[in-house]
């Protein structure tokens, strides 16, 4: 699986913990989450200040970093955020320094061209299109994430990118804004009409809903009594989801549903600690336990074939 | 099952349809929803303008209306609301005329005292306490709904009422406000410490989560492409939930989970048409179909005993 996106240094003022120069970025969270499940290669750019220990972090997760370009005339993308103590879902971006990311020009290498799955994290849709074209052979599944900035500024190019992919990740507000509909289901179906097979509508602490032409599958976020740092939850979700698909050859409805659970689990681990600390230490035992906890949280007895409900 | 709450005439400016002098009120939605599942009696007050056809509406649903008091020196409780076209979850109360409700003094009749289940819809907590005391024999399950107005104005009395009940219904904002915690799980557990066995945290279009000391169960709202009128969704949910409990003698975890699904189905029917039109025409076939649709929406393959996930 190939992940294209950002690697950055985050300054985070969280509700519980804070820190500066923390390893972050969409490709970071996504690739670490996916690395639990499948082989991951990453395509991104870092600057002159990028620390060797952080290359090691990727390598320790078995992530192929041949696609990380280091440029020495710029620093690494830097982002600073403050979370609202009264509403963890709301945050204020304090500063964004694109630095090396400003001139990022992803170069697909031959080793990337065999990847079955491509995840395009939030970035300029023109670059997302370029990456798909440069892949040569089309990957089996292409996922695309985006944000309001691109919906507002480059709607036509974004639409062109969406037409080329299979799975679109947006939060509910972005979906409503993109499709000009207040109803998330209606908005998702507008996107399906453009070509993608699936829309993942992200609902923050309320979970996600996966929508296709035939069915939808909704999962609540795992209820946590402590959310340390919401940064990277969506990218960790995408990494778990796409990584789970990559680890299966036959992609059925049942696999898609489990992939959504897997993504939700990765998101829940990501928010449990500051920066990448949460997503970096997911063990199989912890994953397995949370998969079963998700069953308790969401599964009920279906109506048996010969069963009827009490009804007046 | 006994439902104590309001009956009113609503003026609704909905996103799609509008209407005036529409039958509404918490006890109305709740009792109609529950009447599909169990025997329901209602305790409420109406005024001089209350139309005979609306008594008929209750009777046609088999609801015992001996507890509806009609006072002729006041009009019926009247409420006017406008929903935000851009965000169905936000609404503006345009006018509230308490009228007969201002001096409502619920009189428990002997016929009510055998009820196994009591639902206290949103009202002055002092009245909720009075109703519980007047019941004599404590019902097996007492549910209580409330709203921010009482949290802000009569917190101590509300807490006294909460200590007397089994199931507390609040939306997430009310829970956070009541328990002074931004985390809904933490807030719910604060309420469980007071005595109730269950908290139902209502999340509007994102569904509900049922929380007790040992486990939680979360269900998304049924995704609808058209929401005609959100009025009464929460009360219809409560009616379906409590009504389902009333129709079962052995209340297990599995029954509680199905009760949550049943409530969610009733809520989804309620919002599909203006006023009580949606909740008034639920057939067993439609209910059954939606129960199965909820399975497709939420159920996935659990991990089999000897199964392992692909893991790196």
Burial class (CB in 10 A: 0-12, 13-18, 19+), A247: buried
Q: Say if CB A113 and CB A133 are below 8 A apart.
A: no
Question: Could you tell me where the DSSP H helices lie in B117-180?
Answer: 125-134, 148-153, 155-163, 172-179
pLDDT band at A88 (very low <50, low <70, confident <90, very high): confident
The residues spanned by each domain of chain B are 2-298
- For the record, the structure tokens of B87 come out as 């965000």
Give the residue-averaged pLDDT of B130-140.
96
A134 pLDDT higher than 90 = yes
Query: Cα(B88)–Cα(A230) distance, rounded to whole angstroms?
Result: 26
Question: Would you call A312 and B39 a contact, using CB atoms and an 8 Å cutoff?
Answer: yes
- Give the count of Cβ contacts less than 8 A between chain A and B: 158
pLDDT band at B15 (very low <50, low <70, confident <90, very high): confident
Shortest distance between the Cα of B9 and any Cα of chain A, in A, equals 27
A69 has which bridge partners?
Answer: A45
Residue B216: the pLDDT is 98
Residue B87: the pLDDT is 76
List the single residue in B with minimal CA-CA distance to A223. Answer: B185
Chain A hits for B288, Cβ within 8 Å: 303, 309
Chain A hits for B291, Cβ within 8 Å: 303, 309
pLDDT band at A90 (very low <50, low <70, confident <90, very high): confident
Chain A interface mutation, best of B206, B252, B266, highest count of A Cβ atoms under 10 Å: B206
B81 has which bridge partners?
Answer: B12, B93
CATH of B2-298, one of 3.40.1190.20, 3.40.1480.10, 2.50.20.10, 3.40.50.300: 3.40.1190.20
User: Which one of B189, B216, B257 has the shortest CB-CB distance to A300?
Assistant: B257
Shortest distance between the Cα of A182 and any Cα of chain B, in A, equals 6
C-alpha atoms less than 13 angstroms from C-alpha of B68 in its C-beta half-sphere: 27
Question: Would you call B299 and A301 a contact, using CB atoms and an 8 Å cutoff?
Answer: no
Chain A hits for B222, Cβ within 8 Å: none
B86 pLDDT higher than 90 = no
pLDDT band at B266 (very low <50, low <70, confident <90, very high): very high
List the single residue in B with minimal CA-CA distance to A84. Answer: B182
Question: Would you call B296 and A220 a contact, using CB atoms and an 8 Å cutoff?
Answer: no
Give the residue-averaged pLDDT of B245-262.
97
- For the record, the structure tokens of B117 come out as 């289940």
Contacts of B312 (CB under 8 A, 6+ apart): A35, A36, A37, A38, A39, A62
pLDDT band at A85 (very low <50, low <70, confident <90, very high): confident
pLDDT band at A105 (very low <50, low <70, confident <90, very high): very high
Closest CA to A79 of A92, A60, A94, A64: A94
Parallel, antiparallel, or unpaired for β B141-145 and B216-219? Answer: unpaired
pLDDT band at B24 (very low <50, low <70, confident <90, very high): very high
A84 pLDDT higher than 90 = no
ipTM of the complex in this document: 0.94
pLDDT tens sequence across A224-251: 999 999 999 999 999 999 999 999 999 9
């Amino acid at each position: 699986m190939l992940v294209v996106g950002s690697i950055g240094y985050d300054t985070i003022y969280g509700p519980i913990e804070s820190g500066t120069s923390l390893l972050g970025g969409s490709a970071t969270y996504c690739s670490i989450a996916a690395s639990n499940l499948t082989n991951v290669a990453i395509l991104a750019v870092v600057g002159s200040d990028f620390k060797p220990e952080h290359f090691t972090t990727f390598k320790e997760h078995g992530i192929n970093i041949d696609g990380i370009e280091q440029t020495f005339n710029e620093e690494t993308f830097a982002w600073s955020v403050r979370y609202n103590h009264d509403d963890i879902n709301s945050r204020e971006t304090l500063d964004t320094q694109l630095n090396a990311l400003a001139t990022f020009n992803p170069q697909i290498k031959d080793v990337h061209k065999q990847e079955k799955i491509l995840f395009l994290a939030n970035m300029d849709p023109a670059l997302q299109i370029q990456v798909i074209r440069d892949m040569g052979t089309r990957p089996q599944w292409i996922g695309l994430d985006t944000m309001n900035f691109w919906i507002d500024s480059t709607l036509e190019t974004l639409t062109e990118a969406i037409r080329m992919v299979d799975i679109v990740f947006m939060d509910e507000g972005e979906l409503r804004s993109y499709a000009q509909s207040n109803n998330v289901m209606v908005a998702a179906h507008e996107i399906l009409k453009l070509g993608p097979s699936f829309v993942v509508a992200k609902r923050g602490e309320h979970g996600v809903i996966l929508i296709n032409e035939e069915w939808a599958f909704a999962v609540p976020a795992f209820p946590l009594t402590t959310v340390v740092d919401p940064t990277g939850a969506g990218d960790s979700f995408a990494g778990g989801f796409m990584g789970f698909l990559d680890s299966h050859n036959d992609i059925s409805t049942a696999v898609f549903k489990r992939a959504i659970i897997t993504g939700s689990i990765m998101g829940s681990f990501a928010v449990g600690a500051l920066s990448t600390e949460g997503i970096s230490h997911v063990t199989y035992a912890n994953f397995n336990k949370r998969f079963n906890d998700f069953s308790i949280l969401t599964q009920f007895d279906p109506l048996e074939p010969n069963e009827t409900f009490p009804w007046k």
